[in-house]
Chain A
Amino acid sequence: MRVPIDWLKEFVKINVPPEALAKKLTLAGLEAIVAEDAKVIAVDILPNRGDCESILGAAREVSAILKTRLIKKPFRVVESKEKIKLTVEVKEKKLCPRYMARVIGGVVVADSPEWLKKRLLLAGIRPVNNIVDITNYLLIELGQPMHAFDAEKISKIIVRQAKHGEKIITLDGLERILDEESLLISDPLKPIAIAGIMGGLDSSVMPGTKKIILESAFFEPASIVKSSKKIKLRTEASMRFEKRVDFDMVEEALDRAAALISGIAGGVVLKGKIDVKAKPQKNKTIALRNERIKNILGVNINRKESAAILKLLGFKIKKETKDKIIVEVPSWRAGDVEREIDLIEEIARIYGFDKINETMPEIKAKTFESSHNRIRKVREILLGCGLFEVQTFSMVAPLMAEAGAINISNPMAQEESVMRTSLIYSLLRVLSHNLRHQASKVNIFEVGKVYSTEKIPDEKNVLSGLIAGGDADFYKLKGMVESLLQEFTHDYKLESYIGKHFHPGKSASIIAQLKIIGKFGAIHPDLFKNIEVYAFEIDLDRLLALNKPNKFYKPLPKYPKVERDLAMFVPQGVASQIILETIKRGDLVESVEIFDIYKNSQAYRISFRDKNKTLTDEEVSVSFENIQKELENSLKVQIRK
């Protein structure tokens, strides 16, 4: 809210410069900055502090913070002899516990005087005409929204629920279609205003209007929230009703408006006023224990000091005993001060948060493990493989998710309207972005959630990555995936994978503990055309659940190994895994690895070792020859001699 300083000074004595005032307000919970050549203080009012949404409200805070006096503004309503004749029927007493009105005749609708226009402009309100401006002026000054109707157009005022489909053209010229959620001000024939939000165009004050009905009411906050949400219209008025206006200010504001109108627009205030009120509201009283202040804030603020702070804020001290005080809440704080803790907060913020000493709590809670450390390890391994971590949105375009994915009912954009079911599309988007920006090689991964299509909410942690460009190929990817897997288990199997997203001849699924825990391979050319992309997606929850067996030390070998190389032509369809397994079954074989591949020629290096003695050449040759025979006979490979 924009608070013109001169205006504020009419309500409270200010003994510090604007900058200092802004700082003090900020430290008391009203974030403030000085604006417009120090003519205005712009204050961010917290959502629970509707009572501050006015010059008077700001003045109350300033008075408590600076410990200076509030100033009362005197006024007098001069009434004519003619009596008010207006019937008001409130059908919804719960939603409108107080409805007041006055009637003013003989007004001349014209431009407002300059001083009034200037103030409104400083406060950020556009002047319209003197009647509307005066209601706006008091809205800003006292925080009570009021509305003026053209009295000639209204025979009776009824406050009621709107009917489904009922229509009204509001002041802004738009037709609004209403339903039961909205409260209406109506005459016997048709709606004349949407209660607390905006008046109707038909009954509005125009140049030429002579007689007006001035409305000042209290509408139940929740009802205004509902109504305003439903018709998607929020105004200065509705915003204040939502945050609850001061029940006791309804009357004062009405009288102030009547006095100002007759002074400025030359009207005659008819005798008497309408006040349809549900049972009078009593101010709440709350007990505040000294002990409790200390237990919550950690600082000793004595009873006298707390009482003094509360009094400055307009609370009344009803009773004081040794260990507590009984406090009465002023009408304007009925919305946000209801409990002892609310009073403690008031005391803390005026006492000053900066005066509360910092202490370090002793943390006695038992600690527990989470997957965080294990996920960190996964990330580290992939960084070591040269992959960069990315973070992409959890929402994607419908085309990028499986059928039946969870939809967002109010998305910001179509491409963020569905919860993702895989990370691969998101990574491909990152790839495209980087290729567009001249990257020649893209190596990335993401750890993130995917969202089930079957059950809500069912969320899985997934690990996905891709490599493209440079020396990216299937085996490089496979190496990365396996070096990751082997940190968790050696007990897994790879099988050919035919399924979504992947090239059917260049993909594998990872099977561990009888479940598919992931897949990897070339991305299907249908999905990404310009460049070969190799990707993996692993169910992270399942991966982390794999328990790596305990590590047991094996004594280091005492005797040397003997190496022999074996080159062969491998017929189509013989998997190298079979060859490796065959070789491993050979006598004295300790290990075997492939060290060269060219077309269908493969070269294997075999290590032989006896753990009890140094091997002789003859012993190795016997086994080596047996292996060759076995390969030739059972696998039909052709050994290159």
Chain B
Amino acid sequence: MVERIRAIENEALENITNAKSLSDIDDAQIRYLGKKGLLTELMRNLKILPEEERRNFGKALNETKIKIEGLIASRKAQFSAQLTQNKINSEVLDITLPGKFIKRGKLHPITQVMDEMIGIFIRMGFSIAEGPDIETEYYNFEALNIPKYHPSRDMWSTLWINNELLLRTHTSPVQIRVMEKQKPPLAIIAPGRVYRRDSDVTHSPVFHQLEGLLVDKKITFGDLKGTLSYFLRQVFGKEKKVRFRPSYFPFTEPSAEVDVECVLCNGAGCRLCKNTGWLEILGSGMVDPNVFKFVGYNSEKFSGYAFGMGIERIAMLKFGIDDIRLFFENDLRFLEQF
């Protein structure tokens, strides 16, 4: 009897080991363990054996059954792994074929740069203020301490509507409009379009500026330096050096031009920076007491700083663009690059 079990076991193990496919295994399972399988048959014969024999025989039969079941399970797992592997092997894609784009548009590079800058100042606690493009001579010049027959007016080549109205030459009139309406403390930025009677590769009759104004008790030139250095390092990179250079604007005093280490040569000197190692980025200064007088602020009590910068210029430096007119031509091949 035991020999018979051994014989079945050997045959089964050999069969299962040599099985060529999952269906061979299924066949073996039916042949040995199925309802009419060889082992099942023997199992049925157990009942008719005497007690003693039945135990030994049963034990041997059980061991054989576990062995065969175990082998079937592991061979099944092998085949199923093989099958998955075959499926995977047959499904390899050419991942270099192009993806199916859901084509998004892009923001104009000027908007991108403007938004980045606005974000920096908003996080510092500034709010956005606005003013009209068509300004009066009073707001654009007079109240900014630029008298009518003063040579400093030549700093802005102006497009005029009539004797009193003009296209604002800078965003600075917004300073006046805000101060006329609000008392200090005041922290505003004014982004917007400005206009000059100028046109070449670095000048456009239409361009954008971002203006800033902070007025409170005891605002100092040191504060101006701190704010603008922080801002410029955010825009141009933390490692960049920033330099403040005395300048002149009728509406600020002292006035400073702010330079950043050249983006191309890092200060070594090149064509872009005219060998100075520096790029002029923005104009700034402490609000001139005359400007405070125009808006009725007491300059003994309050002080403030103001600054303004051209967005196109900064965008040109950041993106390496050499002709300002590209911004307004709106060639899609240009816009797609940002």
Residues of chain A having any CB pair with chain B under 8 Å: 26-29, 31, 33, 46-50, 221-223, 225-226, 239, 242-243, 295-299, 339, 341-342, 344-345, 348-349, 353-354, 356-361, 363-370, 372, 376, 379, 382-395, 406-412, 416, 419, 430, 433-434, 437, 439, 442-445, 449, 451, 456-457, 459
9 A-B pairs with CB atoms under 8 Å apart are A221-B151, A295-B220, A360-B223, A363-B125, A383-B107, A412-B205, A416-B205, A419-B134, A451-B134
Whether A408 contacts B220 by the Cβ 8 Å rule is no
**Per-position contact with A for B158-173: 1 when CB-CB < 8 Å, else 0?**
0111100101000000
Whether A406 contacts B134 by the Cβ 8 Å rule is yes
Q: Which residues of A contact B134 (CB under 8 A)?
A: 406, 419, 451, 456-457, 459
Nearest residue in A to B329 (C-beta to C-beta)?
Answer: A433
B216 at interface, CB cutoff 8 A: yes
Nearest residue in A to B204 (C-beta to C-beta)?
Answer: A393
Within 8 A of A (CB), among B136-157: 149-152, 154-155
Known interface pairs A391-B327, A393-B328; 5 further A-B residue pairs with C-beta atoms within 8 A, sorted by A's residue number: A239-B151, A365-B216, A394-B193, A408-B159, A449-B133
Whether B226 contacts A29 by the Cβ 8 Å rule is no
Whether B246 contacts A28 by the Cβ 8 Å rule is yes
**Per-position contact with A for B279-307: 1 when CB-CB < 8 Å, else 0?**
00000001011000000000000010000
Whether A226 contacts B106 by the Cβ 8 Å rule is no
> How far is it, in angstroms, between the C-alpha of A363 and the C-alpha of B255 when the chains are bound?
21
Whether A360 contacts B226 by the Cβ 8 Å rule is yes
Q: Which residues of A contact B227 (CB under 8 A)?
A: 360-361
Whether A389 contacts B105 by the Cβ 8 Å rule is yes
Chain A proximity of B187: nearest CB distance (Å): 4
Within 8 A of A (CB), among B179-217: 184-188, 193, 195, 197, 199, 205-206, 214, 216
Those 4 A-B pairs whose CB atoms lie nearest each other, nearest first = A298-B220, A29-B246, A298-B222, A363-B125
> How far is it, in angstroms, between the C-alpha of A33 and the C-alpha of B328 when the chains are bound?
33
B104 at interface, CB cutoff 8 A: yes
Nearest residue in B to A29 (C-beta to C-beta)?
Answer: B246
Q: Which residues of B contact A386 (CB under 8 A)?
A: 103-105
Contact of A434 among B118, B160, B206, B331 (CB under 8 A): B331
> How far is it, in angstroms, between the C-alpha of A393 and the C-alpha of B126 when the chains are bound?
28
Assuming the A-B contacts A225-B151, A391-B327, are A365 and B127 also in contact, with contact meaning beta carbons closer than 8 angstroms in the complex? Answer: yes
> How far is it, in angstroms, between the C-alpha of A233 and the C-alpha of B220 when the chains are bound?
42
Assuming the A-B contacts A28-B246, A298-B221, A392-B330, are A47 and B105 also in contact, with contact meaning beta carbons closer than 8 angstroms in the complex? Answer: no
Assuming the A-B contacts A388-B106, A412-B197, A457-B135, are A29 and B247 also in contact, with contact meaning beta carbons closer than 8 angstroms in the complex? Answer: yes
How many residues does chain B have at the interface if contact means C-beta atoms less than 8 Å apart?
84
Assuming the A-B contacts A409-B160, A444-B330, are A383 and B106 also in contact, with contact meaning beta carbons closer than 8 angstroms in the complex? Answer: yes
Q: Which residues of A contact B253 (CB under 8 A)?
A: 341-342, 344-345
Contact of B205 among A239, A353, A392, A393 (CB under 8 A): A393
Chain A proximity of B190: nearest CB distance (Å): 10
Q: Which residues of B contact A353 (CB under 8 A)?
A: 221, 225, 244-246, 256
Q: Which residues of B contact A239 (CB under 8 A)?
A: 151
Q: Which residues of A contact B135 (CB under 8 A)?
A: 457
Q: Which residues of A contact B288 (CB under 8 A)?
A: 341
Q: Which residues of A contact B177 (CB under 8 A)?
A: none
Q: Which residues of A contact B115 (CB under 8 A)?
A: 376
Whether A367 contacts B223 by the Cβ 8 Å rule is no
B80 at interface, CB cutoff 8 A: no
**Per-position contact with A for B90-107: 1 when CB-CB < 8 Å, else 0?**
000000000000011111
Whether A390 contacts B124 by the Cβ 8 Å rule is no
Chain B proximity of A357: nearest CB distance (Å): 5
Q: Which residues of B contact A357 (CB under 8 A)?
A: 222, 225
> How far is it, in angstroms, between the C-alpha of A348 and the C-alpha of B246 when the chains are bound?
8
Whether A391 contacts B221 by the Cβ 8 Å rule is no
> How far is it, in angstroms, between the C-alpha of A221 and the C-alpha of B239 when the chains are bound?
46
Chain A proximity of B198: nearest CB distance (Å): 8
> How far is it, in angstroms, between the C-alpha of A357 and the C-alpha of B229 when the chains are bound?
11
Chain B proximity of A410: nearest CB distance (Å): 6
> How far is it, in angstroms, between the C-alpha of A339 and the C-alpha of B300 when the chains are bound?
13
Contact of B149 among A28, A222, A384, A391 (CB under 8 A): A222
B218 at interface, CB cutoff 8 A: yes
**Most chain B Cβ neighbours within 10 Å, of A226, A339, A457, A459:** A457
Whether B106 contacts A33 by the Cβ 8 Å rule is no
Q: Which residues of B contact A369 (CB under 8 A)?
A: 127
> How far is it, in angstroms, between the C-alpha of A445 and the C-alpha of B104 when the chains are bound?
13
Whether B225 contacts A358 by the Cβ 8 Å rule is yes
Q: Which residues of A contact B165 (CB under 8 A)?
A: 456-457
Chain B proximity of A356: nearest CB distance (Å): 5
Chain A proximity of B204: nearest CB distance (Å): 8
Nearest residue in B to A234 (C-beta to C-beta)?
Answer: B154
Whether B154 contacts A47 by the Cβ 8 Å rule is yes
Contact of B331 among A433, A443, A457 (CB under 8 A): A433
Nearest residue in A to B132 (C-beta to C-beta)?
Answer: A457
Contact of A345 among B154, B197, B246, B330 (CB under 8 A): B246
Whether A389 contacts B108 by the Cβ 8 Å rule is yes
> How far is it, in angstroms, between the C-alpha of A385 and the C-alpha of B167 when the chains are bound?
34
Assuming the A-B contacts A341-B288, A456-B161, are A361 and B216 also in contact, with contact meaning beta carbons closer than 8 angstroms in the complex? Answer: yes
B219 at interface, CB cutoff 8 A: yes
**Per-position contact with A for B57-77: 1 when CB-CB < 8 Å, else 0?**
000000000000000000000
> How far is it, in angstroms, between the C-alpha of A432 and the C-alpha of B254 when the chains are bound?
48
Q: Which residues of B contact A49 (CB under 8 A)?
A: 248
> How far is it, in angstroms, between the C-alpha of A459 and the C-alpha of B135 when the chains are bound?
11
Assuming the A-B contacts A354-B243, A391-B108, A444-B330, are A243 and B130 also in contact, with contact meaning beta carbons closer than 8 angstroms in the complex? Answer: no
B335 at interface, CB cutoff 8 A: yes
Whether B129 contacts A370 by the Cβ 8 Å rule is yes
Nearest residue in A to B162 (C-beta to C-beta)?
Answer: A409
> How far is it, in angstroms, between the C-alpha of A444 and the C-alpha of B129 when the chains are bound?
27
Whether B221 contacts A296 by the Cβ 8 Å rule is yes
> How far is it, in angstroms, between the C-alpha of A356 and the C-alpha of B228 when the chains are bound?
14
Contact of B229 among A297, A358, A370, A372 (CB under 8 A): A358
Nearest residue in A to B222 (C-beta to C-beta)?
Answer: A298
> How far is it, in angstroms, between the C-alpha of A348 and the C-alpha of B244 when the chains are bound?
11
> How far is it, in angstroms, between the C-alpha of A416 and the C-alpha of B255 when the chains are bound?
33
> How far is it, in angstroms, between the C-alpha of A387 and the C-alpha of B105 when the chains are bound?
4
Q: Which residues of B contact A443 (CB under 8 A)?
A: 105
Whether A382 contacts B220 by the Cβ 8 Å rule is no
> How far is it, in angstroms, between the C-alpha of A443 and the C-alpha of B248 when the chains are bound?
44
Assuming the A-B contacts A358-B226, A365-B127, A410-B159, are A383 and B105 also in contact, with contact meaning beta carbons closer than 8 angstroms in the complex? Answer: yes
Q: Which residues of B contact A389 (CB under 8 A)?
A: 105-108, 111, 335
Assuming the A-B contacts A361-B226, A388-B106, are A356 and B221 also in contact, with contact meaning beta carbons closer than 8 angstroms in the complex? Answer: yes
Whether B111 contacts A392 by the Cβ 8 Å rule is no
B276 at interface, CB cutoff 8 A: yes
> How far is it, in angstroms, between the C-alpha of A445 and the C-alpha of B335 when the chains are bound?
12
Q: Which residues of A contact B276 (CB under 8 A)?
A: 26, 33
Q: Which residues of A contact B225 (CB under 8 A)?
A: 353, 356-359
Whether B125 contacts A367 by the Cβ 8 Å rule is yes
Whether B205 contacts A47 by the Cβ 8 Å rule is no
> How far is it, in angstroms, between the C-alpha of A243 and the C-alpha of B153 when the chains are bound?
12
Assuming the A-B contacts A365-B187, A416-B205, are A442 and B328 also in contact, with contact meaning beta carbons closer than 8 angstroms in the complex? Answer: no
Assuming the A-B contacts A358-B225, A361-B226, A434-B331, are A296 and B220 also in contact, with contact meaning beta carbons closer than 8 angstroms in the complex? Answer: yes
B128 at interface, CB cutoff 8 A: yes
Q: Which residues of B contact A243 (CB under 8 A)?
A: 151
Whether B332 contacts A439 by the Cβ 8 Å rule is yes
Nearest residue in B to A393 (C-beta to C-beta)?
Answer: B206
Whether A297 contacts B220 by the Cβ 8 Å rule is yes
Assuming the A-B contacts A33-B276, A47-B151, A391-B328, are A349 and B254 also in contact, with contact meaning beta carbons closer than 8 angstroms in the complex? Answer: yes
> How far is it, in angstroms, between the C-alpha of A248 and the C-alpha of B5 when the chains are bound?
133
> How far is it, in angstroms, between the C-alpha of A291 and the C-alpha of B282 when the chains are bound?
29
B274 at interface, CB cutoff 8 A: yes
Assuming the A-B contacts A370-B127, A412-B199, are A459 and B205 also in contact, with contact meaning beta carbons closer than 8 angstroms in the complex? Answer: no
Whether B332 contacts A434 by the Cβ 8 Å rule is yes
Chain B proximity of A472: nearest CB distance (Å): 13
Contact of B161 among A48, A349, A382, A408 (CB under 8 A): A408
Q: Which residues of A contact B133 (CB under 8 A)?
A: 394, 449, 451, 457, 459
